[in-house]
Amino acid sequence: MNGLGGLNKSPNGVVIGLVQLKLPVVETPADLATQTARIVEMTAKARRNMGTMDLVVFPEYALHGLSMDINPEIMCTMDGPEVAAFKQACTDNDIWGCFSIMEANPGGMPYNVGLIIDNLGEVQLYYRKMHPWVPVEPWEPGDGGIPVIEGPNGCKLSLIICHDGMFPEMAREAAYKGAEIMLRTAGYTAPIRDSWQFTNQSNAFCNLMVTANVCMCGSDGTFDSMGEGMICNFDGSIIAHGTSGRADEIITAEVRPDLVREARTNWGVENNIYQFGHRGYVAVKGGAQDCPYTYMTDLAAGQYRLPWEDEVMVTDGSGFGFDAPTRVFNSPKSEAAE
């Protein structure tokens, strides 16, 4: 049930629009300005398209395209004109928006950043991608965790980016911190289509959480992004899916955070996010609340190591033209980015 794509909005509903934005080529500051204007116009289109829409979501790389260009001239800052334009677009159209920027990082590689801006033009969520798509992406790994905010109509809202969603721990962390709706923005191309679909569904089902997911769409002459706007209900079922691959199509649905809350408190069978921390509560009071997972304890101790660690062949981005890094995560950065 998706309220006919959000046309019939319930009092407790949140209507989401996923923009399968046409994949751009952005090489110069002029290109960046043109694409910023394009996103602003698409925000207005989303509002004209559906007066009930609460939140419009743009894919990862909506602003910069898929070139992985780290040219400082086209990197963004939070006080720069691109973010200002997105804030104004949300205000002008009385709508929440989710946007993507590549943010300058003095002394290090740029951050891949997702923003959620409210309908008054205020940034409510700032997220740095935690798992860049190695070995292809050069972005600095995020260092701020997964924020959860109060979104439109009182929903608990979070955002992860692209490859993040291939790690079940990311969706679990978002849900553990209270997210009822998790956005996943991406630039994925067609070879990832099947894994995109089943991870979006499993992230929803395993955490009793709505997932709303969208990729860039169309071709830039080199890459072919797939669109695949996809909204999954908390039981893992797909309630909206952009299968046409049509660029600039907006995939819409109403989702119900109140039903997420109801399931999380009332389900017994398959209430997995609760049961994970209360193993076997039928047999022992409150269930076992230990941590029997070696990978978790090793990671927390800074000792994560696979049995086949020494056999892994690809461990940096040199195969994709990036110099092997020498700086350790969270160590001091150089005075200026190269």
The amino acid present at 11, given as its one-letter code, is: P
Contact 21, 247 (CB under 8 A): yes
Residue type, 64: H
Catalytic annotation on 129? yes
Label residue 73 exposed, middle or buried (CB < 10 Å: 0-12, 13-18, 19+). Answer: exposed
Is 27 known to be catalytic?
Answer: no
Active-site option among 60, 82, 173, 180: 60
Is residue 232 a contact partner of residue 204, using CB atoms and an 8 Å limit? yes
The alpha carbon of 78 is separated from its chain's Cα centroid by a whole number of angstroms, namely 18
Write down the catalytic residue from 162, 215, 217, 232: 162
Q: Is 82 a catalytic residue?
A: no
Contact between 208 and 174 (Cβ < 8 Å): no
- Which three-class secondary structure string do you get for 49-87? HCCCCCEEECCCCCCCCCCCCCCHHHCECCCCHHHHHHH
> Where does residue 154 fall: left (phi above 0), alpha (psi -120 to 50 degrees), or beta otherwise?
left
Neighbours of 292 (CB within 10 A): 8
Question: What's the token pair of residue 314?
Answer: 């690809």
Beta bridge partners of 76: 103
Two tokens at 207? 């955490």
Q: Which member of 76, 129, 156, 173 is catalytic?
A: 129
> ω before 135 within 30° of 0 (cis)?
yes
H or E element: which one contains 32? Answer: helix 29-49
Give the rounded distance of the alpha carbon of 335 from its chain centre. Answer: 30
Q: Whole-angstrom Cα distance, residue 217 to residue 59?
A: 9
Locate 235 and state its tokens.
């039981």
Cβ atoms 264, 274 nearer than 8 A: yes
Provide the annotated active-site residues. 60, 129, 162
